[in-house]
Chain A
Amino acid sequence: MIDAILRFSVSRPWLVLLFTLAIAALGLWNYQRLPIDAVPDITNVQVQINTEAPGYTPLEAEQRVSFVIETAMSGLPRLDYTRSLSRYGLSQVTVAFEDGTDIYFARQLVTERIQSVKNQLPPGLDPQMGPIATGLGEIFMYTVDATPGTTNADGTLITPTDLRVIQDWIIRPQLLRVPGVTEINTIGGYEKQFHVTPNPAKLLAYDLTLADVLQALEESNGNVGAGYVERNGAQLLIRAPGQVTNVEEIRQVVVARRDNVPIRLTDIAEVALGKELRTGAATQNGAEVVLGTAFMLMGENSRTVSERVAEKLIEVNRSLPDGVTANSVYDRTVLVNRTIATVATNLAEGAALVIVVLFAFLGNFRAALVTALVIPLSMLFTVTGMVENRVSGNLMSLGALDFGLIVDGAVVIVENCLRRMAEAQRHRGRLLAVSERFDVVLRSTREVFTPSLVTVVVVALVNVPIFALSGVEGKMFHPMAFTVVAALLGALLFSATFVPAAIALFVRGRIQETEGWIMSGAKRLYAPTLRFAMTWRWTTIVTTIALVAGSGLLAARMGAEFVPNLDEGDVLLQPLRIPGTGLDQSVRMQLQLEEQIRALPEVERVFSRIGTAEVATDPMPPSIADTYIMLKPRTQWPDPDRTKTDFIEALERTVERLPGNNYEFTQPIQMRFNELISGVRAELAIKVFGDDFETLVATGSAIEEVVAGIPGAADVKLEQATGLPVLSILPDRAALARYGLNVADVQSVIRTAMGGAEAGQVFEGDRRFDIIVRLPETVRTNLDSLARLPIPLPELEQHGDEQLPATFNPLAALGAHGRTWAPLGEVAKIEIAPGLNQVNRENGKRRVVITANVRGRDLGTFVAEVQRAVRERVTVPPGYWLDYGGTFEQLQSATERLQLLVPLALLLIFGLLFMTFGSVRDTTVVFSGVPLALTGGVLALWLRGIPLSISAGVGFITLSGVAVLTGVVMVSAIRELWQSGMEMERAIVEGALTRLRPVLMIALVASLGFLPMALNTGTGAEVQRPLATVVIGGILSSTLLTLIVLPALYRLAYSKTTRNDPLLDEGI
Chain B
Amino acid sequence: MKFMHWLIVLPILAVCACTGDSADADRGAASEPAAEHAEELTSTRIDAAMAREAGIETATAGSAVIRETLVLHGAIVPDPQRVFQLRARFPGVVKEVRKRIGETVRAGEVLAVIEANESLRRYNIVAPAAGVVVSREVNPGAAVENETLLTVVDLSSVWVELAAFQHDMDRILAGQSVTVRDVDGHQSAAGRIENIAPVGSAASQSMTARVALPNPDGLWRPGLFVTGEVTVAETEAPLAVSRTAVQDFHGGIAVFELVGEKYVARPVTLGRMDADRVEVLSGIEAGALYVSAGSYLIKSDLDKSGVEHND
Give A contacts to B, CB under 8 Å: 85, 199, 201-202, 204-205, 465, 469, 473, 548, 552, 555-556, 558, 560-563, 574, 576-579, 581, 585, 588-589, 592, 595, 618-619, 623-624, 657-666, 670, 674-675, 677-678, 681-683, 714-715, 717, 719-720, 725, 738-739, 784-785, 788, 790, 793, 796, 800-801, 803-805, 807-808, 810-811, 813-815, 820-823, 825-826, 832, 834, 853-854, 859, 886-888, 890-891, 894-895, 898-899, 902-903, 906, 924, 927-928, 930-931, 934, 938, 947-950, 952-953, 956, 960
Contacts and interface: CB of A to CB of B under 8 A. Distances in A.
Nearest to B181: A201
A715 B297 contact: no
B142 to A, nearest CB: 21
B307 A662 contact: yes
Contacts of A854: 20
Nearest to B251: A834
Given A659-B300, A662-B34, A887-B19, A952 B11 contact: yes
A589 B54 CA distance: 7
Interface string B70-103: 0101010110100100000000000000000000
A790 B50 contact: no
Given A560-B15, A659-B298, A952-B15, 14 more contacts: A201-B225, A562-B23, A577-B304, A578-B307, A662-B305, A664-B30, A664-B309, A665-B30, A738-B205, A790-B73, A814-B223, A826-B167, A931-B8, A938-B11
B308 A576 contact: yes
Nearest to A930: B4
A574 B309 contact: yes
B165 A826 contact: yes
B5 interface: yes
Contacts of A659: 44, 46, 50-51, 54, 56, 297-298, 300-301
A613 to B, nearest CB: 14
Interface in B267-311: 275, 296-301, 303-311
Contact of B227 (A201, A719, A952): A201
Interface stretch (B115-123, B195-203, B209-217): B195-203
Chain B: number of interface residues, binned into ranges: 35 or more
Given A556-B14, A949-B15, A902 B24 contact: no
B73 A201 contact: yes
20 contacts: A201-B225, A202-B225, A555-B10, A561-B22, A561-B25, A562-B22, A581-B300, A659-B44, A660-B301, A678-B310, A717-B308, A796-B202, A807-B199, A811-B75, A820-B201, A820-B203, A859-B17, A924-B1, A930-B7, A953-B11
A363 B260 CA distance: 79
A825 B18 contact: no
A934 B10 CA distance: 11
A648 to B, nearest CB: 10
Contacts of A785: 71
A819 to B, nearest CB: 9
B20 A891 contact: yes
B12 interface: yes
A579 B19 contact: no
Contacts of B44: 659
A887 B20 contact: yes
Given A675-B311, A949-B15, A953-B12, A825 B296 contact: no
Contacts of B165: 822-823, 825-826
B12 A902 contact: yes
A421 B257 CA distance: 92
B12 A814 contact: no
A854 B21 CA distance: 9
Given A556-B10, A810-B83, A902-B12, A678 B24 contact: no
Contact of B304 (A465, A661, A886): A661
B107 interface: no
Contacts of A949: 15, 18, 22
Contacts of B71: 785, 788
A826 B12 contact: no
A715 B32 contact: yes
A678 B23 CA distance: 9
A473 B20 CA distance: 11
Contacts of B202: 796, 800-801, 803-804
A286 to B, nearest CB: 12
Given A784-B275, A822-B204, A810 B77 contact: yes
A62 to B, nearest CB: 16
A725 B225 CA distance: 36
Residue among A623, A822, A899 with the highest chain B CB neighbour number at 10 A: A822
B222 interface: yes
B40 interface: no
A853 B20 contact: yes
Given A826-B167, A949-B18, A681 B23 contact: yes
A561 B21 contact: yes
Contact of B19 (A473, A555, A674, A738): A473
A205 B310 contact: no
Contacts of A563: 22
Contacts of B225: 201-202, 204-205
Contacts of A820: 201, 203-204, 206
A85 B311 CA distance: 8
A579 B307 contact: yes
B60 interface: no
A592 B73 CA distance: 43
A578 B54 contact: no
B8 A715 contact: no
B296 A585 contact: yes
A596 B77 CA distance: 61
A205 to B, nearest CB: 3
A592 B53 CA distance: 8
B183 A674 contact: no
Interface string B230-273: 00000000000000000010000000000000000000000000
B308 A720 contact: yes
A675 B27 CA distance: 12
A555 B9 CA distance: 11
B254 to A, nearest CB: 14
A307 B15 CA distance: 36
Given A664-B309, A887-B20, A898 B47 contact: no
Contact of B309 (A624, A821, A825): A624
Nearest to B263: A659
Closest 8 CB pairs of A and B: A560-B18, A205-B225, A660-B300, A820-B204, A683-B20, A562-B22, A561-B22, A662-B304
B18 A948 contact: yes
Contacts of A890: 19
Nearest to B12: A953
Contacts of A561: 18, 21-22, 25
Contacts of B170: none
A914 to B, nearest CB: 13
B24 A681 contact: yes
A658 B167 CA distance: 45
A548 B7 contact: yes
Nearest to A815: B223
Given A578-B303, A588-B55, A659-B297, A674 B26 contact: yes
A814 B76 CA distance: 11
A630 B8 CA distance: 42
Contacts of B3: 548, 931
Nearest to A619: B311
B1 to A, nearest CB: 8
Contacts of A801: 202-203
A666 B301 CA distance: 21
B165 to A, nearest CB: 5
Nearest to A553: B10
B78 to A, nearest CB: 6
A701 to B, nearest CB: 12
Given A810-B77, A960-B8, A562 B309 contact: no
Nearest to A951: B15
Contacts of B12: 465, 898, 902, 953, 956
B219 interface: no
